[in-house]
């Protein structure tokens, strides 16, 4: 099968879907393209200053080589940028073929899928934080040096967002706790484990994490002044419906601390029973029945007891998706160049744990 790239081994050009159809996309910025055009316009008439007898004329091939090297240097030095690619998807291949050399790694996928922008979307925020937490627990050393740097850049943005918006600090505290524990073990075991980079860099990162933990510990929630309708003004049945929408027991307890009315509603046995039935199978909570003093089942205590033994269901507003037809991983709203006749039937949502499992070989 012929390919449209400059080399027969190339996977072809990259294409993006627009309203006018598919258009070819060049993987470098317009600024670089303008600079390269200027460089190419010099062509073979460029003469470097020197003695008349030693004039050195650069050919078009030399100019093209210089342009490519310039792009590589730009990408290498652009450490603040999270993503070097325009497309927000990646082809997941686990073995070398004649057309594709090498295989896709976790670090490569982490760099390509634009997690830096995803944390600004409230639907994806919890998903990205959970993914970072799973990587911190077991896959941190699997990331390349660039991916590790990207990891901590994204983590820095997450902490700054939480400090500014006071959004879900408990989730970030859990992430930093797992990450600091992992780094302590890795730093103490230098020589036994693989750490990319100088040990002093990792010590500085650990100190930064400890600083973040202290800042989150001292975080004061801003009291919003609002003379309009508040949560306490809602009728009881609406407050009860709100509590029944929560899927995390700690969120219910936190909301119950706001007012005495919400505390009363948060202690409802039926609420905790529904939560247990949602997260756990009947066989699971039948093994861990916890009766109360009155002889009834204490569903609240049983929820937290079961949480120690079994994983709870995860809910996210938006997740990565995997196309089984194209073997491409992508964010659903950005799309990907699918060749299937009915692309929607090929899509499969990818949980954070599934994302990690995709790159285990």
For 302-344, what is each residue's pLDDT tens digit?
888 888 888 888 888 888 999 888 888 888 888 788 888 888 8
146 Cβ contact list (under 8 Å, min separation 6):
107, 111
Q: Are β-strands 47-48 and 328-331 bridged in parallel, bridged antiparallel, or unpaired?
A: unpaired
Q: What do you get for the CA distance between the two ends of the chain, in Å?
A: 28
Residue 186: closest CA among 240, 247, 138, 127: 138
* Mean pLDDT (the chain, rounded): 75
- With a cut of 70, say whether residue 167 has pLDDT above it: yes
What pLDDT is stored for residue 83 in this prediction? 41
Q: Is the pTM of this model over 0.75?
A: no
Per-residue pLDDT, 175: 92
- Comparing CA positions, the residue from 67, 28, 70 lying closest to residue 58 is 67
Domain boundary among 203, 218, 233: 218
**Residue 30 domain-assigned?**
no
HSE, CB side, 13 Å, CA atoms: give it for residue 314: 17
Q: pLDDT at residue 215 above 50?
A: yes
Give pLDDT, residue 224.
63
**DSSP result, 117-172:** HHTTSHHHHHHHHHHHHHIIIIIGGGS-HHHHHHHHHHHHHHHHHHHHH---HHHH
Q: Is 169 in the same domain as 192? A: yes
Which residue range forms the structural domain that includes residue 296? 248-309
Q: Please determine, for residue 272, whether its predicted confidence score (pLDDT) is greater than 70.
A: yes
User: Can you name the residues that pair with 322 across neighbouring β-strands?
Assistant: 329, 348
- CB under 8 Å to 292, separation ≥6 — which residues? 298
With 0-12 / 13-18 / 19 or more C-beta atoms within 10 angstroms meaning exposed / middle / buried, residue 217 is exposed
Q: Are residue 262 and residue 164 in the same domain, yes or no?
A: no
Short-list 185, 82, 194, 174, CA closest to 133: 174
SS3 assignment, position 50:
coil
Residues 195 and 277 in one domain: no
Mean pLDDT within 153-178? 89
The burial class, CB within 10 Å (0-12 / 13-18 / 19+), for 361 is: exposed
Judge contact between 182 and 140, C-beta under 8 A: yes
Mean pLDDT, residues 172-189 taken together: 88
Percent with pLDDT over 90 in the chain:
13
CA distances (Å), origin 241, targets 121, 205, 262, 265: 25, 43, 12, 10
Which comes out higher in pLDDT, residue 235 or 52? 235
Residue 211 has pLDDT above 90, yes or no: yes
Residue recorded with tokens 């709870």: 312
**Mean of pLDDT values over 9-30:** 64
Q: What pLDDT does 210 receive?
A: 92
Do 125 and 152 have their domain in common? yes
Query: 291 lies in a domain?
Result: yes
- Indicate the helix (H) or strand (E) that contains 175: helix 169-188
Residue 204 lies in a domain: yes
Of 278 and 67, more confident: 278
The total number of structural domains that make up the chain: 3
> Encoding tokens for residue 339?
């060749």
pLDDT at 155 over 90: yes
226's tokens: 């609002």
225 token code pair: 């002044």
What number of H helices and E strands is found in the chain? 15, 8
DSSP at 297? B
- Look up tokens 């939480």; give the residue: 162
Q: Do 301 and 341 lie in a common domain?
A: no
Indicate if 299 and 326 belong to the same structural domain.
Answer: no
Q: CA-CA distance, 252 to 256, in Å (whole number)?
A: 6
- Of 61-75, 98-112, 131-145, the range with the highest mean pLDDT is 131-145
pLDDT > 70 in the chain, percent = 69
Return the structure tokens found at 292. 């109360």
Contact (Cβ atoms closer than 8 angstroms) between residue 186 and residue 141: yes
232 domain-assigned: no
Of 32, 13, 132, nearest to 77 by C-alpha is: 32
Considering the domain architecture, whether residues 178 and 264 belong to the same structural domain is answered as: no
Same domain? 338 vs 279? no
Separation between Cα atoms, residue 321 and residue 187, nearest integer Å:
35
28 assigned to some structural domain:
no
Mean per-residue pLDDT for 194-211? 84
In this prediction, residue 35 has a pLDDT band, given cuts at 50, 70 and 90, of: very low
Q: Are 173 and 213 in contact, with CB atoms under 8 Å apart?
A: yes
Residue pair 359/345 in contact (Cβ under 8 Å)? The answer is: no
Most confident segment among 12-26, 166-180, 276-290, 308-322:
166-180
């Amino acid at each position: 099968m012929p390919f449209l790239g400059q080399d027969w081994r190339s996977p072809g050009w990259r294409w993006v879907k627009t309203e006018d159809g598919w258009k070819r996309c060049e993987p470098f910025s317009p600024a670089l393209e303008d600079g390269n055009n200027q460089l190419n316009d010099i062509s073979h008439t460029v003469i470097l200053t020197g003695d008349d007898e030693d004039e050195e004329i650069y050919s078009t091939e030399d100019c093209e080589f210089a342009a490519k090297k310039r792009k590589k240097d730009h990408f290498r030095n652009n450490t603040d940028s999270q993503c070097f690619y325009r497309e927000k998807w990646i082809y997941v291949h686990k073995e070398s073929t004649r057309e594709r050399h090498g295989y896709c790694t976790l670090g490569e996928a982490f760099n390509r899928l634009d997690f830096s922008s995803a944390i600004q979307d409230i639907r994806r925020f919890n998903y990205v934080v959970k993914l970072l937490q799973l990587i911190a627990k077991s896959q941190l050393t699997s990331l390349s040096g660039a991916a590790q740097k990207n990891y901590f850049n994204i983590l820095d943005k997450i902490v700054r967002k939480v400090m500014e918006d006071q959004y879900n600090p408990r989730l970030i505290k859990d992430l930093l706790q797992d990450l600091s524990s992992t780094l302590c073990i890795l730093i103490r075991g230098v020589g036994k484990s693989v750490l990319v980079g100088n040990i002093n860099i990792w010590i500085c990162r650990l100190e930064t994490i400890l600083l973040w933990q202290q800042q989150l510990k001292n975080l004061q929630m801003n009291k919003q002044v609002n003379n309009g309708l508040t949560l306490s003004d809602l009728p009881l049945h609406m407050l009860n419906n709100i509590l029944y929408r929560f899927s995390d027991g700690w969120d219910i307890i936190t909301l119950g601390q706001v007012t005495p009315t919400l505390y009363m509603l948060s202690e409802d046995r039926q609420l905790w029973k529904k939560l247990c039935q949602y997260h756990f199978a009947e066989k699971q909570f039948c093994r861990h029945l916890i009766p109360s003093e009155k002889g009834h089942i204490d569903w609240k205590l049983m929820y937290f007891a079961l949480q120690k033994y079994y994983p709870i269901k995860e809910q996210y507003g938006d997740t990565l998706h995997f196309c089984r037809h194209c073997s491409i991983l992508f964010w659903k709203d950005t799309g990907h160049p699918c060749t299937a006749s009915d692309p929607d039937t090929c899509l499969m949502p990818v949980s954070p744990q599934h994302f990690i499992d995709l790159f285990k070989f």
